[in-house]
């Protein structure tokens, strides 16, 4: 009932801002149409090992359970797996799969481990510069997978996952999807704290190579520590793996409801409309000159709780089209819309 009320409220606000047309094609609803689920490790890369338990099997079990839940509830959503069997997939190919499918969301699933058996709990990462030694340990462990790839030195321009100096490149990174990535990451952690592992390590930023080249909101979920006896019990049972998938699915569901209520600017216009180019949307107001705008002078239109960021004011669609090509170099999903 709450989400229905919120949706109707947004529609009402949108009606006040945007011109009304009888043609159903004049208004478009943004929808989360494609999600890529990445089961960490696989094939010759077992990931974390504890006894006869291998991380790659846990991540695949949870990934497939999550994908099935999404397909059952949302048959119109395309679910793509970076792997659906026990095979090795290079880190850069995982992001490439998401980019090729023009995914709206990328979820990478992993299991943690550390020398200290007292470490436990779930945590979710977004792409960013690491500022914690503990985060760096996790990051170096996951990134070390690239050494199993043939010719990795040339493929990753000499990147050494064990050398802290190699991570300097990430200090120059501007993540245009950070806001949305943080939203889904927080939703995931809010659900995971309900079990089967209840210790919540929170949302963190770290330079994971698997997230580096994703051109959409993306997260990496660490379900728990195989090195911790308590977490180990939860991670290794089928029923708990289904629970993990259920928690992530509920977070996905909440994120999708928010995503799908972001009303786009009308596809058509009337003679009184002013044309603009929409580049992005956010659930939060971003500061003037934010790095998220990539140097563009953006202004927003607020619809409900969503901020629609646009650039330029044009008198005709033809005039806006000339600028659109330049804007698309920075924001491939940019489009022309209009409002009064």
For the segment 4-25, what is each residue's pLDDT rounded down to a tens digit? 434 333 433 344 333 443 333 3
For the segment 276-315, what is each residue's pLDDT rounded down to a tens digit? 888 887 767 888 888 888 889 998 887 666 778 889 888 8
For the structural domain made of 34-260, what CATH number should be given? 3.40.630.40
Rg, Å, the chain Cα set: 21
Residues 6+ apart with CB under 8 A from 141: 48, 113
pLDDT of 68 higher than 50: yes
For residue 137, what pLDDT is reported?
A: 65
Q: Which of helix, strand or coil describes residue 44?
A: coil
Counting Cβ atoms within 10 Å, is residue 24 exposed (0-12), middle (13-18) or buried (19+)?
exposed
Closest to 182 (Cα-Cα) out of 331, 31, 292: 292
pLDDT of 72 higher than 50: yes
For range 56-67, the mean pLDDT: 98
* Domain span(s) for CATH 3.30.70.1070 in the chain: 2-29+265-339
For 92-118, give the DSSP string.
HHHHHHHHHTT-SEEEEEEEE--S-TT
Q: Are strands 78-81 and 34-39 parallel, antiparallel or unpaired?
A: parallel
CATH 3.30.70.1070 matches 2-29+265-339:
yes
For 128-176, give the DSSP string.
S----HHHHHHHHHHHGGGGGSTTHHHHTTT--TT-GGGGGGGGG---T
Q: Are strands 218-225 and 105-112 parallel, antiparallel or unpaired?
A: parallel
Task: Report whether 183 contacts 306 (CB < 8 A).
Answer: no
Q: Dig out the tokens for 200 from the structure.
A: 């919540």
* Domain span(s) for CATH 3.40.630.40 in the chain: 34-260
Task: Report whether 177 contacts 194 (CB < 8 A).
Answer: no
DSSP assignment letter at 3: H
């Amino acid at each position: 009932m709450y989400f229905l009320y919120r949706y109707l409220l947004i529609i009402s606000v949108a009606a006040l801002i945007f011109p009304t047309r009888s043609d159903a094609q004049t208004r478009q609803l943004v929808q989360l149409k494609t999600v890529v689920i990445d089961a960490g490790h696989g094939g010759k890369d077992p990931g974390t090992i504890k006894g006869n338990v291998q991380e790659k099997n846990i991540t695949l079990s949870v990934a497939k359970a999550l994908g099935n839940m999404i397909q059952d509830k949302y048959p119109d959503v395309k679910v793509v797996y970076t792997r659906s069997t026990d095979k090795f997939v290079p880190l850069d190919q995982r992001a490439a799969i998401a980019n090729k499918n023009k995914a709206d969301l990328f979820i990478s699933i992993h299991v943690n481990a550390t020398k200290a058996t007292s470490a436990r709990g779930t945590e979710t990462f977004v792409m960013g510069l690491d500022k914690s030694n503990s985060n760096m340990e996790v990051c170096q462990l996951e990134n070390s997978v690239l050494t199993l790839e043939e010719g990795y030195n040339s493929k990753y321009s000499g990147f050494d996952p064990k050398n802290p100096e190699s991570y300097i490149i990430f200090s120059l990174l501007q993540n245009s999807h950070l806001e949305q990535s943080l939203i889904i990451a927080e939703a995931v952690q809010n659900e995971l704290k309900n079990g089967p592992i209840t210790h919540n390590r929170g949302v963190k930023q770290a330079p994971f190579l698997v997230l580096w080249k994703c051109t959409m909101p993306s997260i990496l979920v660490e379900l728990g520590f195989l090195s911790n006896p308590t977490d180990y019990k939860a991670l290794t049972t089928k029923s708990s793996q289904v629970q993990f998938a259920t928690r992530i699915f509920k977070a996905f569901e909440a994120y999708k409801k928010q995503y799908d209520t972001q009303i786009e600017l009308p596809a058509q216009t009337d003679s009184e409309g002013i044309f603009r180019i929409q580049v992005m949307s956010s659930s939060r107001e971003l500061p003037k000159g934010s790095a998220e705008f990539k140097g563009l002078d953006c202004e927003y239109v607020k619809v409900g709780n969503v901020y629609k960021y646009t650039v330029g004011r044009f008198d005709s669609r033809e005039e806006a089209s000339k600028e659109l090509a330049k804007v698309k170099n920075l924001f491939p999903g940019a489009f022309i819309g209009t409002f009064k």
